[in-house]
Amino acid sequence: MLDLAEPHTDQPAPTVAMLELRGLHYTYPDGTPALRGVSLRVCAGEKVALVGPNGAGKSTLLLHLNGVLRAPEGAVLVDGAPVADTTIRQVRARVGLVFQDPDDQLFSPTVFDDVAFGPLHMGLGEAEVRERVARALAQVGMAGFERRMPHHMSLGQRKRVAIATVLAMDPALLALDEPSAGLDPRARRGLVQLLRDLPQAMIVSTHDMRLVAEVFPRMVVLAEGQVAYDGPSAPFLADSALLERYGLERP
Amino acid sequence: MTLAPSALDRYIDSKSPVHALDARVKLLLTLACILALGLLPPGAWAGIATIATILWWAVLRARIGLGLVMRRAFVALPFALVALTLVFSRPGVPLLRLPLGPLTLTATDAGLIAFASVLVKSWLSVQAALLLTATTHFTDVLHALRALRLPAVLVAILSFAYRYLFVLVDEAQRMLRARECRSAELPGQRPGGSIVWRATVVGQMVGTLFLRSYERSERIYVAMLSRGYSGELRALHHRPLSRREQGLLFVGGGILAAIVFLTYVAGGGPR
Amino acid sequence: MLFENLAQQILLGLHIPDGFLSVPVSALWWILTIAALAVAVRQVDGLSERQIPLMGVMAAFIFAGQMLNFPIPGGTSGHLLGGALAALLLGPWAASLVMACVVALQALLFQDGGLLVLGANIFNMGIATAFVGWWVGTALLRAFGGQRWGLVAAGFVAGWVSLMVAAILTSVQLVLSGLSAAIVFPAMLGVHAVIGIGEGLITAAALAFVVATRPDLASTLTGSLGTDAARRGVGRGALAGITGVGLAIAAGLALLSPLASGDPDGLERVAEDQGFLERAQDPAYNVLPDYTIPGLDGPISTIVAGIVGLLIVFAIAYGVTLLLRGNKAETPR
C-alpha cells in the first residue's frame, strides 16, 4: 500500500474528529471482500473526495458512515462515539447519506413529503418540520417545488432535492454518492456551486476529477478495499503516473 | 391502462372554486354522486337529468372543457357490449324483431330503457370520477384517504406505488422499445416464433422487471433507514374540516339524497 | 383512440365500471373486500417494516408489468393481470394488498373500473386471483415435488385458473345485477379462457426466470413447500374462509336469482340469446364448453350455467392435484 499522506497545514486540526474510521473490514454476503482495513479521519467542515474505480468499495464505505452497514471488524466513530444500536438514531441525524440515483432517495410522491420525512421521523413538531423543509429547499435553490412530483423534474433538480432531504435533518456531515453523474453542464455547474457553498463536512464519492479539483482540497483514493492515497488533491491530480495507476482521468 | 398524458392533465394546476375545495370533500361528494346514480332505478330520467345538471355545473365551475370530460368518459363503452343483452332479455312491449336464421331476437321497451339507463349512469359516474381526478392532485387524494381513516399501511403502499408507477412504466416501455428494435420481419417469412416463445420472452421481461423492482425497493428501504425510519409511518396532522366545508358536504349529500328519495316516492320504488 | 388496443379493452372486461353493478351487489363485495384486507393488513403489520416499501414498489411493478404484452394472431395480445404471479412471489397476504393497490390506482387515476364497484373489482382481480393463484400454484408445486417443469406447469395453471376465477366472480356480480347469465357467463369465461393462456404463460415464464436468477427471492414460494409452512398460517385460513364465503354467496345467489325474479318471459329468451351469442362470437369462444345443457328449460339451464361455471375450474384444479398426489404417494421419493 502506497502512503503519500501528508499533514494538512491549510486546514485547522481539531482534536476530536467529526468522523473516524478505524480498520474497517467488510465482506459481502456472497463472500467477496469489499473493505479491507480502511482507516480515515474527517474533521468538521472538511470536504473530502472519495475516488477509485468501480468495485473499489466506495459505496460500501459510505453505507457504513451512518450505520446502514455494520462492519464485523473495525469501528466507525461519529463525534468520538462508536456507531451502535444505542446511538444509531443520533448518528443518522448527524450523517446525511445521499444515494446516487435520486429515484431511490426520493421515495415520496411529492417534494414536500420527501424533505419532511427525515424531520418527521426525528420526532420534530409540525411547525419545526415545515420550517426545516422550507430552509432546506431554499438552501439547494428549490423553493417553490414543494408540491411537485419528483418524476416530473429534471435529474439536476432531483439531485438537488435529494440533498435537501438530508439537509432538512441538519447533519454535520454529508455523504454523497456520485452527485455529478449524468448531469448536463449547466446542472453540474450549479451542483459545484452548491457543494462549495454548503458549510457541512462532506465525503463525496465520484469519478469526476474536475469536480475534485473544483471543490475538494483533500482526496482519498480507494483501491481494492484499501486506502491507497489520502492527502491533498492538487499534487495527486497533477501526477499522470498516479492517475494512470488508479484508472483515473486528468481533470 | 395507458399512461399517455391525458388532455385533462393540464387542468390539474388551474385555479377554480372546485380546485380549491378540500380533497376530502371532493372525494366524499364524488362517491355520493356515484352512489346516488347507482340507486336510481332504470328509466328515472328526471333524477338522472338532475344529477347530470349538478355534475356538469360543477365541471363548468372547475373551468374544464365539458365536451372533453364527456368524450373521455366513454372509456367504459366497450363494457356496454355485455349490457346490450338487456335489450333482448327484459319483458316488455316488443319494439323490434330481428330474425337471425332459425331464431328471432325481440327488443322490448323495458329492455331498451334498462340498457340506456345503465349506459347513461355509467357514463355520468365516469365523468364524476374524472372531475375528481382532473381537479385534485393524487397526493391530496392520498392524504384525504388517510384522514378518512384508511389504514396507514395501505396509504403508505399506495404512496410508494404512485411514486414508482411512472419510474417502472418508463422501464417497461424501454424494454418494449428494445424488443421492437430487434423485431425485424423478412419478406416471405412468418414473423416472430410461436406464441409460447413470445410469451416466454414477455415472461422474462416481467421477471427482469420484478428483480429490478425488488432491488430498487431494497435501496429505497436503505434510504428510508438513513433518514430515521424505524417502521413507524408518520405524517403531519390533518386540519379539521371547516364549517363551510362541512356545510357543503351536508348540502351536497342532502340534495343527492333528496333526488333519490323523490324518485322513489314519485315512481313507487324500483321495478 | 377508442379501439387502438383491443386487448386492453378485453382486459377491461374485468374492470367493471360504475353503473353495471347494483348497489346491494357493490355493497356486499365492499364488505367482503374490507374484511379480507383488514385481515391482510393485520398479517402484514406483524411482518417487518421492510415490507411496506417493498409492497408499494411491487404494486408499481404489477402495474408496469401489465403493459408488457405479446401479439396473438387475430389482432389481440397476451398480457398479465398479475395476481397469481404476485401471490407466488410474495405470498397471498402481501399479494392481496399489492393487487388491491393496483386496482385502486387504476380506478382513481385512470378510471379503469368504477369507484362504487371498487370493492368488487378489488375482490375479483386482487384478493381472489392472489389467493386462488397461491392455492393452486403451491398445491401443484407440492404435487410435482419441486421440479423445474413442475414450477412452469404450476405457474401456468395458477395464472390461468386465477384469471378464470376473476372472470367467474365478475360474471356472478353482473348476473346478480340483472344481466343475462346465459350471455355473461359464456362470454366472460370464453374470452378469459383464452386470455388466461397468456396470463398462465407469462406467469410461468416470469416465475421460472426469477427462480433461476435469484432463488433467494423465491423463498416465499419455496418456503411454502415445507410442511411447517402449511400449518403456519392461521390467517391464511381466514382469508381462505373469506374467499370461500364470497364464492359460496356468489354461487348461492346465482342459483336463486333466476327463480327469485319470477320472470318467465325473460328466461324463455335465454335460449334465443344463447343462439345469438353463438352467431356473434369470436372464433375463440369455440374453445369453451357450452354452458347450457341442451334439452333443459331456460331457468334450469341458467342455474346449471351458474353452477358449472363456478365449479368447473375448481374441479379441474382439484382433480389434477388429487391425481398427482395419488401418483406421488405410490412412488417413494
**pLDDT tens, position by position, B32-60:** 999 999 999 988 999 999 999 999 999 99
pLDDT band at C275 (very low <50, low <70, confident <90, very high): very low
From chain B, pick out residues whose CB is under 8 angstroms from the CB of A151: 163, 166-167
C48, C205, C214 member nearest B204 (Cβ): C205
pLDDT band at C49 (very low <50, low <70, confident <90, very high): confident
For the sheet containing A218-223, what is the strand order? Answer: A95-98, A173-177, A201-205, A47-51, A218-223, A226-232
- CATH no. for residue C153? 1.10.1760.20
Cβ pair B137:A93 closer than 8 A: no
pLDDT of residue C282: 29
Q: Is residue C124 in some structural domain?
A: yes
Q: Is residue C74 in some structural domain?
A: yes
Which site among C42, C47, C70, C118 would you substitute to test the B interface, given the most B Cβ atoms closer than 10 Å to its Cβ?
C70
Per-residue cell: A67: 450505520
pLDDT of residue A89: 85
- Whether the pLDDT of residue B268 is over 60: the answer is no
Cβ pair B227:A68 closer than 8 A: no
Q: Which amino acid does the sequence have at A30?
A: D
pLDDT band at A15 (very low <50, low <70, confident <90, very high): low
Q: Is residue C55 in some structural domain?
A: yes
Chains that touch A (3 or more CB pairs under 8 A): B
- Whether the pLDDT of residue A215 is over 90: the answer is yes
* Residue C217 belongs to domain spanning: 17-330
pLDDT of residue C241: 54
pLDDT band at C141 (very low <50, low <70, confident <90, very high): confident
CA triplet B254, B260, B261: central angle to 5 degrees? 80
Rounded mean pLDDT, A92-118: 93
pLDDT of residue A219: 94
* Share above pLDDT 70 across residues of chain B, in percent, rounded to a whole number: 90
- Whether the pLDDT of residue B139 is over 60: the answer is yes
What residues in chain A have their Cβ under 8 A from chain B's Cβ atoms? 63, 66, 68, 89, 92-93, 96-97, 99, 101, 103-110, 113, 116-118, 120-122, 126, 129, 147, 149-151, 165-166, 169
Rounded mean pLDDT, A1-28: 67
Q: Is residue C283 in some structural domain?
A: yes
Interface pTM, i.e. ipTM: 0.90
- Whether the pLDDT of residue C333 is over 50: the answer is no
pLDDT band at B99 (very low <50, low <70, confident <90, very high): confident
- Residue B186 and residue B55: Cα distance in Å, rounded? 54
C5, C105, C179 member nearest B82 (Cβ): C179
pLDDT of residue B223: 92
Q: How many domains in chain C? A: 1
pLDDT of residue C297: 44
From chain B, pick out residues whose CB is under 8 angstroms from the CB of C280: none
pLDDT band at C68 (very low <50, low <70, confident <90, very high): confident
CA distance A139 to chain B (A): 18
CB C299 within 8 A of CB C259: yes
User: Which helix or strand (DSSP H or E) is residue C307 part of?
Assistant: helix C298-330
pLDDT of residue B111: 86
pLDDT of residue B20: 93
* Residue A161: strand pairing partners: none
For residue B137, what is the nearest residue in chain A, using CA coordinates? Answer: A147
- Whether the pLDDT of residue C293 is over 50: the answer is no
- Whether the pLDDT of residue C311 is over 70: the answer is no
Q: Which amino acid does the sequence have at A142?
A: M
- Determine the topology of domain A19-245 in CATH: Rossmann fold (3.40.50)
pLDDT of residue B234: 77
Size of interface B-C (CB pairs under 8 A): 307
pLDDT of residue C285: 26
> What is the tens place of the pLDDT at every residue in B167-187?
999 999 898 888 878 776 666
> What is the tens place of the pLDDT at every residue in C155-200?
999 999 999 999 999 999 998 988 878 778 887 888 788 888 889 9
On average, the pLDDT of chain C sits at 70
Cβ pair B206:C205 closer than 8 A: yes
B142, B166, B228 member nearest A93 (Cβ): B228
Rounded mean pLDDT, C38-58: 81
pLDDT of residue C225: 52
pLDDT of residue B208: 92
Residue A224 burial (10 A CB sphere; 0-12, 13-18, 19+): middle
pLDDT of residue A54: 85
pLDDT of residue B238: 80
pLDDT band at A1 (very low <50, low <70, confident <90, very high): very low
- Choice among B21-25, B54-58, C1-5, C84-88 with the minimum mean pLDDT: C1-5
Per-residue cell: A43: 474533521
* Residue A151: strand pairing partners: none
Find the DSSP H helices in C177-297. Answer: 181-213, 219-224, 227-232, 234-261, 264-280
Cβ pair B228:A63 closer than 8 A: no
pLDDT of residue A214: 93
- Residue C324 and residue B183: Cα distance in Å, rounded? 40
CA triplet C100, C101, C102: central angle to 5 degrees? 90
- Whether the pLDDT of residue A36 is over 50: the answer is yes
Residue B208 has a CB neighbour count (10 Å cut-off) of 18
Q: Is B264 on the interface with C (CB under 8 A)?
A: no
Q: Is residue C12 in some structural domain?
A: no
- Whether the pLDDT of residue C47 is over 70: the answer is no
B34-63 as b/e, with b when 16 or more CB fall inside 10 Å? bbbbbbbbbbbeebbebbbebbbebbeebe
CA distance B259 to chain A (A): 38
